[in-house]
Chains A and B, each alone.
Chain A
Amino acid sequence: MLTQHQLSTTPTIVLGHKHAGFPRDLGNPTVGKQYCHNGRMTLPPERLPQIQSTVMP
């Protein structure tokens, strides 16, 4: 399940090459490596409980 948190933290505007343009980020090597979760692109599985517990205490 995608939480509000995950949906709201990807403000990339897709124009041509999806990573060239704005916004520019710092470059965490793990960013951009997406994981397929129930047919949707989401965060690594180990991150999910952490996020869900944050958003839905």
Chain B
Amino acid sequence: MSKIPLLGLQAAQFRHPLDLEATQMLQQLPGLDWLVRSVLGGMAEQVLYLENISSSVLVSNKQLPDLYHLLQEACHILDLDLPQLYVRQHPTPNAYTLAMRGKQPFIVVHTSLLELLDPGEIQAVLAHELGHLKCEHGVYLTLANLLVLAAGQLSPWGGLIAKSLQMQLMAWVRCAEFTCDRAGLLVSQNAKVMASVLMKLAGGSPTLASQLNVDAFIDQARAYDQVDNEWATLLKTLQTVELTHPLPVLRAREIDRWADSPSYQSLLQAHRYAHTTSALNNPYNCAGT
């Protein structure tokens, strides 16, 4: 079955609740997002553009076209303009973006990631990064970071206030990752694909790929939850508090849950209906005549 394009999709429709709340709060401060986007973002974008164009491979319809088509389809589904895509030689499977829709938005994927994942999973990774771009996490998280930095300058309790704000900021950073895993699901339209990406990042390799079991990996989250006493709660908090991303098994479980949720199902259903209606009304569509 072909994938449903989510035309007109808004970031707020798939943001994690905490990500949505925090972003809306910052959007109340007029001008600050513009400042981050145009001043800091503009400089960072230029530095990274020079680095990418000089030391990575720029993907296009003439360069790694299969990868380019995966990006094109993902952008079409998420209703987003095509960013530049670079492949970079690196032994650690990863991908990143500036997460800001400036003059030259981009995504970089590492070569080892392409070796580790199959095409559907690679597209889910691209969609995760496109999720950051769609939500412009780079703008809002940097802005929040600057505000925390400013709070730290307040005396005499500035340090304490900043510490508390920083913990909240990191909680937001982690929820922003849940948001982008949802973008991965919106493009793959199959929860197992996104969960498989997370499983392979946690313990995959090209030779193990065919033997890995996604359901068993999601079940690991249950084992994690079963370690439940005061000491374990403290350990889990310490383990998580400084992390930029939620723990892999929890990410896999979260995406599995969201796939079954009414919000995901209704989002897909609404666009499925719109897509079918538009296809039937198209006089050039052979299927509709």
Interface residues of A (CB under 8 A from B): 5, 8-9, 11, 13, 15-17, 19-32, 43, 47, 50-51, 54
Contact with A24, one of B40, B90, B137 (Cβ below 8 angstroms):
B137
Q: How far is the CA of A43 from the CA of B110 in the complex (A)?
A: 15
Interface 1/0 per residue, B244-269 and A, CB below 8 Å: 11111001000000000000000000
Closest chain A residue to B202 by CB distance? A29
Query: Besides the contacts A26-B113, A30-B92, A47-B91, what 15 more A-B pairs have beta carbons closer than 8 Å?
Result: A5-B89, A16-B149, A17-B145, A20-B145, A20-B170, A22-B41, A22-B138, A22-B142, A24-B98, A26-B94, A27-B245, A28-B92, A29-B245, A31-B92, A51-B91
Q: Give the interface SS of chain B, mostly helix, strand, loop or mixed.
A: helix
Interchain CB contact under 8 A, A21 and B141:
yes
Nearest 7 CB-CB pairings of A with B: A27-B245, A22-B138, A16-B149, A25-B96, A21-B142, A16-B145, A19-B244
Neighbouring A residues of B138 by C-beta, 8 Å:
21-24
> Which of A13, A20, A30, A47 has most chain B Cβ within 10 Å?
A20
Neighbouring B residues of A29 by C-beta, 8 Å:
201-202, 245, 247-248
Residue B123, interface by CB 8 Å: no
Shortest distance in angstroms between B143's beta carbon and chain A's nearest beta carbon?
9
Shortest distance in angstroms between A22's beta carbon and chain B's nearest beta carbon?
3
